[in-house]
Amino acid sequence: MHHLFIAHSKFFITCVFLLQFLGIQNTTADTLSIAVASNFRSVMEQLSEAFNEQRGDNQVDHQINISSASSGILYAQILRGAPFQLFFSANESYPEKLVASGHGVADTLATYAIGTLVMVSRGEREVSEAKSPKEILSKAKRIAIANPRTAPYGIAAIEALESLGVAHERQPTLVVGNNIAQAWQFFHSDNVDVAIVAASLVNSVERIEKKYNSDVGLTGPDGKEKQQSLRIVDLSSYLKHPVRQGRVAIKPMLPLAQEFLDFMRTSVAEKIITEGGYLLPVPADTKSSMNAVIIPPIMSP
Amino acid sequence: MNLLTSDITALWLTLQLAAVTTVILMVVGAPLAWWLSRSTSRFASVVEATVALPLILPPTVIGFYLLIAFSPDNFFGGNWLALTGHSLAFTFSGLVVGSVIYSLPFVVQPLQTGFQHFDHKLLEAAETMGAGILDRFFNLIIPLTRRAFATAALLGFAHTMGEFGVVLMIGGNIPGETQVLSIALYDHVEALDYHRAHWLAGGLLVFSFVLLILLYGFNRHKLTNRVG
């Protein structure tokens, strides 16, 4: 019995030691974990790359982890204690709610980007010959949107369908992605003919294709290149409000998190955001200085 | 509280999916398991390994390949579209295809084990007495391996009820079409609707537990019968 106890305690101590060792391994490097709404993921990846570059030589010992999902899913995870230090949502209300619940740092609350809702269809398909957005939607066999229960872009898509007067009629054709990236993937893999997504996703695909292929076109999931043009319709005018994306730091506030937020205000970062398909919010305190707002490049058909 | 409408739709849909999948799997699985239990060819181990693959593959692998196969540009998806007029992705039929693949080992393996313990001399005897193939199958094989059949059907049904990953990738979360219980539950949890989540999670837990008690109870009963 005594021996057994010793054996057990040795085993226990080894376990504790191992766990601590693993824990130390994780925490020695300064780690910043960022939760980002799926629509902003590719921009966030570029931002973190630029941030690392800028930080460069003075402090190499840090690491940025990016997790993306729909804003509502990330919000729920943070409420349950997920270890994120920064949260970039696709709306303003989730960050506000986190401040109200005591998870968010109040003075880090801000709007970091204004997104554009677009409707995408394939150029050579019959559906794209339609003259109006309403007609495209009426001809579509399947329309991919993000889940309106957890994704602000899903709510925006429903709002656009409602103001176009087709929400009820087109309800059976809606295919709901777990987040906006999945809705876009449904379209990209050619399993739906129309998708209502954030302009940034369409932009990021164009960028990726340019990076890996000399010709711009969509590459299917099977790797086969498809020479296809996209028809993209801006749906902003069918929304009551633009999609304002808010962010907040999560307690406890890390110095590295503050550093990243400061970096977001630099011209380097702002250029990445606008090139990613977003508008910059006009800062409240500099409204009179009429900051130039760059209009994002949205592909024409 | 609108627990009822959409959740009951999801429950009904899930039961339908599990039932259709189980029926298809019993029809396809029984001959396959029979062949596997009898065959001595090397090719049989390849087939056996293929059948077992869904046990260890992440559902995302199956979901990913199915999504590609369903695309109208590919052979399978293209022909399906030409034949039926609609694509397989985000439809109930698509989920049935996914579930049949996903639950295949849960039906084939218990059947195969049952058939291996079957005394083949009995079949030869029946044949000499003039019993046809169907006669032998329904009046000899099924009664003597009914434990294996029950296990296979229950496991296939229960496993399909609990399917999640594959449906998440090929379903598209459409109420009444592809929104099964596990997806509806996930949706409730992520929307922080814990009240409805509790109903579904608790219900699935109790259901699965009862199903397994029935299964093990049935097997134990058979065992004591045989001993006694």
Q: What percent of chain B has pLDDT over 70?
A: 95
Q: Looking at beta carbons, which residues of chain A come within 8 Å of B190? A: 70, 72-73, 76, 149-150
Across the interface, whether the CB atoms of A176 and B189 are under 8 A apart is answered no
Across the interface, whether the CB atoms of A189 and B71 are under 8 A apart is answered yes
Beta bridge partners of A248: A87
Across the interface, whether the CB atoms of B90 and A142 are under 8 A apart is answered yes
Q: Which two tokens stand for residue B209?
A: 């537990």
Residue B102 C-alpha, separation from nearest chain A C-alpha, in angstroms: 21
The per-type count for chain B, helices as H runs and strands as E runs, is 12, 0
Across the interface, whether the CB atoms of B190 and A72 are under 8 A apart is answered yes
How do residues B64-75 score in pLDDT, each as one tens digit? 999 889 988 888
Instruction: Give the other-Cβ count within 10 Å of A162's Cβ.
Output: 12
Summarize the confidence of residues A124-143 as an average pLDDT. Answer: 85
Across the interface, whether the CB atoms of A76 and B187 are under 8 A apart is answered no
Q: What is the DSSP string of B62-78?
A: HHHHHHHHHSTTSHHHH
pLDDT score recorded for residue A214: 34
How far apart are the C-alpha atoms of B81 and B77, rounded to whole Å? 6
pLDDT band at A9 (very low <50, low <70, confident <90, very high): low
* A191: nearest CB among B90, B173, B187: B90
A118: alpha, beta or left? (left if phi > 0; alpha if psi -120 to 50):
beta
Summarize the confidence of residues A86-94 as an average pLDDT. Answer: 97
Does position A208 have pLDDT exceeding 60, yes or no? no
Helix residue spans in A176-215 (DSSP H): 180-188, 199-212
pLDDT score recorded for residue A18: 59
Going by DSSP bridges, is the β-strand pair A117-122/A62-69 parallel, antiparallel, or unpaired? unpaired
pLDDT band at A297 (very low <50, low <70, confident <90, very high): very low
Summarize the confidence of residues B57-85 as an average pLDDT. Answer: 90
Residues A263, A268, A274, A279: is their CA dihedral positive or negative? positive
Across the interface, whether the CB atoms of B191 and A72 are under 8 A apart is answered yes
The SS3 call for residue A115 is: strand
Q: Looking at beta carbons, which residues of chain B come within 8 Å of A177? A: 172-173
A–B: how many Cβ contacts below 8 A? 64
Q: Listing from the earlier edge strand, what are the strands of the sheet with A243-250?
A: A62-69, A30-37, A86-88, A243-250, A104-115
From B178, B210, B175, select the one nearest B8 (Cα to Cα): B175
Measured CB to CB, residues of chain A less than 8 Å from chain B are: 70, 72-73, 76, 79, 141-142, 144, 147, 149-150, 174-178, 186, 189-192, 220-222, 224, 226
Q: Looking at beta carbons, which residues of chain B come within 8 Å of A194? A: none
CB of A245 within 8 A of CB of A156?
no
Measured CB to CB, residues of chain B less than 8 Å from chain A are: 64, 67-68, 70-74, 86-87, 89-90, 168, 172-174, 187, 189-192
How do residues A176-204 score in pLDDT, each as one tens digit? 999 999 999 999 888 999 999 999 988 76
**How long, in residues, is chain B?**
228
How far apart are the C-alpha atoms of B60 and B73, rounded to whole Å? 21
